[in-house]
Amino acid sequence: MMERFDGSFTQQEPIPEAGIAAALEVMRHGRLHRYNVAPGEVAETALLEEEFAAFTGARYCLAIASGGAAMATALRALQVNPGEPVLSNAFTLAPVPGAIASIGARPVFVEVTEDLTIDLAHLEAQAKATGARVLLLSHMRGHVGDMDALIALCDRLGVRVVEDCAHTMGATWRGVASGRHGAVGCYSTQTYKHINSGEGGFLVTDDPDLAARAVLLSGSYMLYGRHRAAPGPEVFERLRLDVPNISSRMDNLRAAILRPQVAMLAERRARWRELYRAMEAGLAETPGLRLIARPEWEDYVGSSFQFLLPGWEPARVAGFVARAAARGVELKWFGAADPVAFTSRYAHWRYADPVPLPQTDRVLAGLIDMRLPLTFSTDDVEVITRIIRAEVLSAAQSEIGQGEVAEAVAVPLAD
């Protein structure tokens, strides 16, 4: 009888007790709105912003309604105009080009490498061809490229960088927190991210004008003096009558849920890394499967796992994904012809008028993605990798020698 995995790929850990208690207190007093406080009280949202700024090392932080709202607010704060081109790597998820389109700007996609990071040569070519002055860089699925080289290139080109850190909250490059290399860092606290409020996000920056514009955009109602991780009132005074109110700042209930989780990020990163390395060990040297290299200077958070099936025909990939699903292993394929649930790719976003990108198409054609929730154990991962390995080898039998397959499949199953 074939082995099957019975765990859930979408079950998150519970909210910590401290977050539950804080949320109950907010509900009992009823002051959910970010500026609704009692005399002498500091809002949960303001405290959360202060704590997340300290965690990332940023001067300013804004807690906001979602990661997508954070990106759109960052672009507006940078005064990106309707019709203006905004660069972004082609391997990303729909909220990234969605943020660009939401302000009337035009996404310009950049090729990605087999290591799932932005192609710097194509980035330079696209920047020069379009005259784009902003890059919305997606650290997609937690893969951080060479940020030193990227920032040096963008500085030379006069391109400002907004980092989408939805999958890299808690990660670093050469010891610098993800989101702290560019002009603005944006984060998500959606359920499947590294801290969980159902929906929510952050924006961080060291630029006082950008921070003040973001606060005003998020709906300050001229109460910007109640912010703690924000510039002084003199910056707001210059801008307050010129920036529209879009009312997208986070409320006190979600902030209360999140505050205890910020302090848990380092411990969560260590646990995710243990699961990620167990995945690597279980799938190492599987014929027909290529693991993604992790750079020496990248201190990543392994909350999801990716691998490539290079050169596989679409029908064979689809069959592999279906057989893994039948055995309880939920995999996402970025080469599918049509969007499936949360998984789509640049060619599906017709509103962006995408131009074909041959290198990215080749990578995504064999790209497999899997969630790694912290509700998994390393024992769970061992079962998952045995199933994946067996199904890869089964699908690849026509491509490699039978003796090699037989030897590779000869792995003992769990009792």
pLDDT tens per residue across all 415 residues of the chain = 799 999 999 999 999 999 999 999 999 999 999 999 999 999 999 999 999 999 999 999 999 999 999 999 999 999 999 999 999 999 999 999 999 999 999 999 999 999 999 999 999 999 999 999 999 999 999 999 999 999 999 999 999 999 999 999 999 999 999 999 999 999 999 999 999 999 999 999 999 999 999 999 999 999 999 999 999 999 999 999 999 999 999 999 999 999 999 999 999 999 999 999 999 999 999 999 999 999 999 999 999 999 999 999 999 999 999 999 999 999 999 999 999 888 899 999 999 999 999 999 999 999 999 999 999 999 999 999 999 999 999 987 755 444 443 343 333 333 3
Give the whole-angstrom CA distance, residue 65 versus residue 237. Answer: 25
- In 3D space, the residue among 323, 292, 334, 344 whose CA is nearest the CA of residue 392 turns out to be 323
Strand partners, 160: 134
What is the rounded end-to-end Cα distance, in angstroms, of the chain? Answer: 12
Token digits for 37? 């406080």
Coil/strand/helix, residue 170? coil
The pLDDT of residue 412 is: 35
Q: Rounded CA gap, 185 and 93, in Å? A: 17
Amino acid 341: pLDDT: 86
Q: Which residue, 288, 311, 303, is CA-closest to 392?
A: 288
The predicted model scores a pTM of 0.94
Please give the radius of gyration of the chain, using alpha carbons only, rounded to the nearest integer. 22
Environment class of 200 (CB within 10 Å of its CB; exposed 0-12, middle 13-18, buried 19+): buried
What is the total residue count of the chain?
Answer: 415
* pLDDT for the residue numbered 388: 98
β-pair partners for 291: 307
- Pairing relationship of beta strands 85-89 and 134-138 according to DSSP bridges: parallel
Q: What was the pLDDT predicted at 413?
A: 34
pLDDT confidence of residue 158: 98
Domain spans in the chain, listed from the N-terminal domain onward:
17-262, 265-409
Rounded Cα distance between 85 and 123, Å, is 13
The fold adopted by the segment(s) 17-262 is Aspartate Aminotransferase; domain 2 (3.40.640)
SS3 label, residue 253: helix
Tell me, what's the pLDDT at 389? Answer: 98
CATH 3.90.1150.10 fits 265-409, yes or no: yes
Q: Please give the C-alpha separations between residue 202 and each of 147, 246, 303, 344, in angstroms, as whole numbers.
A: 21, 16, 19, 24
